[in-house]
Every structure is written in C-alpha cells, then in structure tokens.
Amino acid sequence: MKIAILPGDGIGPEIVAEAVRVLNVLGEQFEMETAPVGGAGYEAHGHPLPEATLQLAKDADAILFGAVGDWKYDTLERALRPEQAILGLRKTLGLFANFRPAILYPELAGASTLKPEVVSGLDILIIRELTGDIYFGHPRGVRTAPDGAFKGEREGFDTMRYAETEIRRIAHVAFQAALKRDKRLTSVDKANVLETGQFWRDIVTDVHRQYPAVMLDHMYVDNAAMQLVRAPKKFDVLVTGNMFGDILSDAAAMLTGSIGMLPSASLDANNKGLYEPSHGSAPDIAGKGIANPLATILSAAMMLRFSLNMPEQADRIDAAVKSVLAQGLRTADIHESGTTLVGTEAMGDAVVKALN
Ligand code: IPM
Ligand code: MG
C-alpha cells in the first residue's frame, strides 16, 4: 500500500509526523513517500501543487495531508496561494465526497462552548460535496458590470452551479452513509432563493426513492446553522454543497470544543481518498510543539478504514486515542484544570504506547 505524505505548512509537518509514527507501529508494510505542498511547494518548486507532488498523489493508494496556508502568502496571486494546492488535489483527483464527522468525546464535554447537555454524546456526520458549486464554477472574475443598477462599475463575480450527476453521486454517498448509521439524512440547501438550491432539492428527493429505509428531510442553510447550535444532537447525517458545507462543518466542529480533534476524508468514486485534519495550518503556533496531533492521527485511522481496507487497524487507533484521553492527557487546545498538559510529541508518544 502506497501512502503519499503531504505535510504542508504551519503545524502540518509536526502533526503529520506523529500520524506517520502511529502508522509505523501498526505492524503493517506501508510504502510512504513525502512531498511538499502548499507554501512548502511554492518555496521548493515555485508552485503550491508541484507536478511531482500531484503525480505522487495520483500514484498513491491514499494521501495523508497536513494543512496548508500562511499569512505570508496572502499577497501572492491567487493561483500561487497555498489553498490552491488542496483545491487542485480535490478537483484533479475527483475527490468529491467529503466526510466530516463531528464527535464529542465524553472526556472533552467541558471543552465545548455549548452547555454539556446540548452536546454530550454528539455524533453527527457532515457530508460536503467538494468539487463543484461556487468554489469551481465559471465564469468568475472581476470585470466591468455589463448591466444592472451598477452598470459600468467594477464588480467581482462567481458562479454557483451544480450538474445533475454531481448532485446524484453525492446524494448516493450520503444515503449510503445514513444507512450505516441512524438512517436519518438532512439535505441542506437554499431552495427558497437559489435555482441551484431548488435543483439540488429535487434531485436529492429523486435519489431518495432508492433508499426508502432512510428518513430524509430538507433544511435551508440558515436554519441548519441555527439548529446546529440549538439542538445539534437532532441530526444524524447532513449532506450539502461545497460552500454551505465549508461553513457548516466549521460550526459543527466547534460544537465539540476542539477542531483539533476532528479528522476528515475526501473520497473519489472508488474510495481512493485524501485524509486531513479538519483544522488549518495554525501558523501562529507552528514550530512550538504544542499543536494537537489527534485529528491527524484519527485521519490516518479513517484512511485505513475507507481506502486501505484495514478496519481492525483503524479501530486500534481509535481505541488508542480514547485511551490517552481517558488517561487525562491534553494538548493546549483541549486542556482543562485537572488534566495533564502535553505537547505534540508527547501526545504522539502516548498514542504509540497505547497501541503497543
Ligand atoms: C476547508 C478549507 C478549504 C475550503 C480552504 C483551505 C480552501 O476551509 O477544507 O474547509 O474552503 O474548502
Ligand atoms: Mg473550511
């Protein structure tokens, strides 16, 4: 099994190193190859997604990704910014199905900004479409407004669009995921305002006919945002487009108290995938050895489960993470009084030890 290791920027290299250590003690033979991506790709080869990095990602069975981005690249032209690396990987590799679980570990109930009774036992799954929508829609740009009340003025514009096939395939992924859980699916759109929203709703409703065992409901995105903070446990699986999924998944992540705990998977039609923590590159704490590596370690577990067909090894990692939390070990982002503050490496050590 070949794994492409793309650490990226900021805390990326530190947290990915811990996940690699964990993979290496499982007793399996993985072929791992590392390549620069994001700002690191730009520094090394003048492009956030260097040709060799993309080729490695294409050739691998799975990709373990850290994070990209740093303020120092904010002034670069868009095509050279670190974020283009992850967008390029998603699009080029066809990684259209993004799984973002938001699970609250009982030990961390106090870390949430919401009342414990609202979030304790939370276990929801956001499925975000990842290669369409306003993220990739053309035309886009800055131009002279051709019409409207501001005709002749400069305007920025993007295009929100979804093809039927794109909606159908993500709907199938979502219904199938719901079948493996509590069999409830909420589809989120803005059908009251947007054409793409109504179209999305119609197609999801049609796909539902093939999954009578799943209970489907539809929700407008503004209401979904409200319900996520009001009564998040009412959800089981949510499916939504790229833009709304970006926003709702950050909100859902924060329900759990620490975005430093949440893994994610981005899969293509054949379950080849890119696995990354849900959090970003956190340049403010990079190199300090204090970042939480657990989201990346849990992402490696998802990789074993979804792409490498090693569910037992995935279970072992999940159990090891639970055990270090039960031991009271906490990185700074989830630290509370009465628990033991540890750094990135010590947290990785503890997971490795729990695995042995
Ligand atoms: C995410 C991130 C990315 C996105 C950025 C880094 C391009 O926010 O994975 O949610 O907007 O999809
Ligand atoms: Mg985001």
The pLDDT tens digits for 159-190 are 999 999 999 999 999 999 999 999 999 999 99
Among 256, 285, 309, give the residue marking a domain's end: 256
Intervals of the chain under pLDDT 70: none
The answer to whether position 262 is within a domain reads: no
The answer to whether position 182 is within a domain reads: yes
- Identify the residue whose C-alpha is closest to ligand 1 atom 10: 246
- Identify the residue whose C-alpha is closest to ligand 1 atom 1: 246
Q: Provide the pLDDT for residue 324.
A: 98
The answer to whether position 261 is within a domain reads: no
Do 343 and 306 reside in the same domain of the chain?
A: yes
Strand partners, 220: 189
The answer to whether position 158 is within a domain reads: yes
Give the tens place of pLDDT for each residue, 303-348. 999 999 999 999 999 999 999 999 999 999 999 899 999 999 999 9
Do 143 and 243 reside in the same domain of the chain?
A: yes
Among 256, 283, 299, give the residue marking a domain's end: 256
Q: Provide the pLDDT for residue 258.
A: 77
The answer to whether position 263 is within a domain reads: no
Do 103 and 251 reside in the same domain of the chain?
A: yes
Do 79 and 117 reside in the same domain of the chain?
A: no
Do 86 and 120 reside in the same domain of the chain?
A: no
Do 128 and 244 reside in the same domain of the chain?
A: yes
Distance CA(258)–CA(256), nearest Å, equals 6
What CATH number does the domain containing 129 carry?
A: 3.40.718.10
- Cα 339 to ligand 2 centre (Å): 30
Q: Does 222 participate in catalysis according to the annotation?
A: yes
Do 15 and 90 reside in the same domain of the chain?
A: yes
Q: Provide the pLDDT for residue 110.
A: 82
- Cα 211 to ligand 2 centre (Å): 30
Do 195 and 105 reside in the same domain of the chain?
A: yes
Q: How many domains does the chain have?
A: 2
Neighbours of 53 (CB within 10 A): 26
Do 45 and 69 reside in the same domain of the chain?
A: yes
Among 203, 229, 256, give the residue marking a domain's end: 256
Residue 114 token pair: 């919401």
Distance CA(278)–CA(67), nearest Å, equals 9
- Cα 324 to ligand 2 centre (Å): 28
Residues 35 and 50 sit within 8 Å (Cβ to Cβ): yes
The answer to whether position 87 is within a domain reads: yes
Q: Provide the pLDDT for residue 187.
A: 99
Do 239 and 105 reside in the same domain of the chain?
A: yes
Closest CA to 318 of 271, 267, 273, 355: 355
Tell me, using a 6 A CB cutoff, whether residue 246 lines ligand 1.
yes
Q: Does 162 participate in catalysis according to the annotation?
A: no
Residues 135 and 242 sit within 8 Å (Cβ to Cβ): yes
Domain residue limits at 106: 97-256
- Identify the residue whose C-alpha is closest to ligand 1 atom 5: 83
DSSP string, 178-209: HHTTTSEEEEEE-TTT-HHHHHHHHHHHHHHT
Instruction: Give the global pTM.
Output: 0.95
